Amino acid sequence: MGRAVGIIGVGQTHHGRRTEMSYPDLVREAVVRVFDDAGLTPADIDGVVSGTMPSMMEGIALTHFYFADAMQAVGKPILKTETCGSTGVSIAQTAYYWVASGMADCVLAVGHEKMNEGNAQATMTTVVEPFYQRYFIAGAPGVFSMQSQMWADRYGIPEDKIRDAAAYISVTHHDSAFDNPYAHVKLRVSMDDVKNARLITYPVRLLDVCPTSDGACALIFASEEFIRKIGKKAAWVKGVGYRGEEYFFGDSDKGVWQSAVQSAKQAYDQAGITNPRKELDVAEVYNPFTFQEMLFYECFGFCGFGESPDLVLKGIFNRKGELPCDPSGGVLCTNPIGATGLIRVAETVLQVMGKAGDHQIPGAKLALSHAMGGVDQFNGVMIVGSEL
Amino acid sequence: MAKEYKTLMTEIRLPYEISYGATWTRFFEGMAEKKIYGTKCGRCNRVLVPARSFCPRCFVDTTDWVEAGQQGTLTAWSYVSYRYFGMPTEPPFISALLRLDGTDVDFLHMMGGFDMSDFEQTRKIVKNGMKLRAVWKDERQGHILDIKYFEPA
Ligand SMILES: [Zn+2]
């Protein structure tokens, strides 16, 4: 680990269909809020990291130029990262490394997406080469459904049980979104609604899938020295992990997803976590698809492989359970992709600072955030705690 | 009622000329002859398909060309019931991962050759581990879609 790094400000837009606003103005909404929250000004910032989906999504290649004014980045070093779904965690880790290295004291991290302006599934097909895999990836739902199907079959999980558990996740997350003022989809759904929703890519149905959201999120990362000097409370970064996969979808095992397993292990080792289900107080697991969320519980060691559907149905991972997952409503209810991973980090910061409002998990001190990206290539994990 | 603001409908069309290189070129020439070529790694002895110039695990050049079986076993599948940009055929169709005979990685393509308009019926037919075989187009161009689909064997 480098030197200690804390997160001292959180700014989120109200996520949703934001056609009343241009893209730079939407980014600025989050940036204004992060400066308000941290009590800092752009003059305090040493560097800026931002990112989006692959630029095919935006239709504008250099978003860090397009948003330079909205992020108050002019005259400062600026970096861009785009790793599809994991962009937000990539941004957070870039900002973390920058401060941890000692090369900056205070870094602004901004993730953003206006999903309603482009075509997300078409963009995702362009992640892979145009002569083989592009045809069959079928956007995000296609590959992730295949992965879920492989995992369920591997562990012999009965179809009815996994369907019930996924529906339970959908119902509880949709309920949670009502307690998150920034969440996009606010919809009461029943188990039957989920199970009877329109089929998208088997086994995924419409209410198992995240929405198309516009939104931005901004965080401020600072060194321990900077934080002590200004006398602010911080959420401290305890561990980070990131891994990628081999390029060809069929080359590596997706049923036990190694990049997810290893990114969590790297973060746990740094944070000194040996029993995540017991030691973590809350997790924001990247869950654009309900079925995928269960695979992550297992890859992250929250339970053994093949066990998650039973534990989900017992309520282990709901807001009153042993390890609450996605009390914000998660990606399932809000997905401005370039911001989504950073929102996961932001939500864990709010939790360990006791500032999560109506979806606060009482007494949360240690929290895991996660995002996956590429089409099925990347996993990134960040762990924050209330104590250094 | 909230005021409606203007939006701009626009698109970007950019030309690319992407090199296949020697290995992909030979692989796609094989497609035109109804052959699915893989390459073998001399270090880990895995047969990789589609053919590669190097083994991604051992990071050494592959040594031998191998013709993969026309049959294989289904590893994972997804019933695709929505339309997307660049899709290979009209939905519904089945994206499939399959392990071709004589190879050591999964091949990504699609299933076909039976009526899949009704999902509940389809689900009774499609099972991981089932045997599949390649069905080729009559007119082939050295393209991945020269294989029409893989059908139950
Ligand atoms: Zn090898």
DSSP labels for A139-163? Answer: HHHHHHHHHHHHHHHHTT--HHHHH
Predicted confidence at residue B139, as pLDDT, reads 97
Q: Does residue B65 surpass a pLDDT of 80?
A: yes
Q: What is the mean pLDDT of residues A342-358?
A: 98
pLDDT in tens, B77-118: 999 888 888 888 888 999 999 999 999 999 999 999 999 999
Percentage helix, strand, coil for chain A under 3-state DSSP, each rounded to 5: 40, 20, 40
**3-state percent breakdown (helix, strand, coil) of chain B, nearest 5:** 15, 30, 55
Query: Above pLDDT 70, what percent of chain B?
Result: 99
Q: How far apart are CA A314 and CA A280, in angstroms?
A: 18
Per-residue pLDDT tens over the stretch A249-299: 999 999 899 999 999 999 999 999 999 999 999 999 999 999 999 999 999
Cross-chain residue pair A119–B85, CB shorter than 8 Å:
yes
Dihedral pair phi/psi, residue A337, rounded to 5°: -50, -50
Distance of residue A366 Cα from the nearest chain B Cα, in angstroms: 36
Q: What is the largest CA-CA distance in chain B?
A: 69
Ligand 1 center to residue A123 CA distance, Å? 32
Question: Tokens representing A209?
Answer: 């899938």
How far lies B8's CA from each of A137, B5, B11, B34, in Å?
29, 10, 10, 46
For A192, residues 6+ apart whose C-beta sits below 8 A from its C-beta are none
Q: Is the pLDDT of residue A138 over 90?
A: no
Q: Quick one: tokens of A98?
A: 């920058």
Nearest neighbour of A135 by CB, restricted to B77, B81, B88 = B88
Residue closest to A3 by CA, chosen among A109, A108, A104, A107:
A104
Q: pLDDT digit string (tens) for A185-233?
A: 999 999 999 999 998 888 889 999 999 999 999 999 999 999 999 999 9
Angstrom distance (rounded) from CA A214 to CA A4: 33
Q: Is the pLDDT of residue B138 over 80?
A: yes
**Measured between beta carbons, which residues in chain A are less than 8 angstroms from residue B76?**
146-147, 149-150, 153, 254
Is residue B24 a contact partner of residue A129, using CB atoms and an 8 Å limit? no
Which residue of B59, B78, B95, B100 to mutate against A (max A Cβ within 10 Å)? Answer: B78
Cis status, amide bond into A203, omega within 30 of 0? yes
List the 162-201 stretch of A: residues with Cβ below 8 A of B: 199-201
Indicate the pLDDT class of residue A121, thresholds 50, 70 and 90: confident
How far, in Å, CA of A43 to CA of A36, rounded? 14
CA distance A171 to A166: 9
**pLDDT value of position A299:** 97
Q: Please provide residue A140's backbone torsions phi and psi, each rounded to the nearest 5 degrees.
A: -70, -45
The tokens for B60 are: 């050494």
DSSP A115: G
Q: What crossing angle do the helices spanning A139-154 and A290-299 adopt, rounded to 10°?
A: 50
pLDDT digits (tens, 9 = 90+) for B15-39: 999 999 999 999 999 999 999 999 9
Give the predicted TM-score (pTM) of the model.
0.96
Q: What percent of chain A has pLDDT over 90?
A: 89
Q: What is the mean pLDDT of chain A?
A: 95
Contacts of A202 in chain B (CB under 8 A): 78-79, 81, 119, 123
- A386 strand-pairing partners: none
Q: Is the pLDDT confidence value at A374 over 90?
A: no
Q: Which residue of B has its CA nearest to A129?
A: B18
Residue A159 or residue A41, greater confidence: A41
pLDDT of residue B1: 58
Q: Which CATH superfamily is domain A5-120+211-385 in?
A: Thiolase/Chalcone synthase (3.40.47.10)
Predicted pLDDT at A230: 96
Nearest-CA neighbor of B49 among B101, B103, B97, B102?
B103
In the structure, what pLDDT confidence band is assigned to residue A387 with cuts at 50, 70 and 90?
A: very high
Nearest to A250 among B77, B85, B97 (CB): B97
Contact residues on chain B for A200, CB-CB shorter than 8 A: 81-82
Chain B residues in contact with A139 by the CB 8 A cut-off are 84
Summarize pLDDT for A166-183 with one digit per residue, the tens. Answer: 999 999 999 999 999 999
pLDDT-derived band at A48 (thresholds 50, 70, 90) equals very high
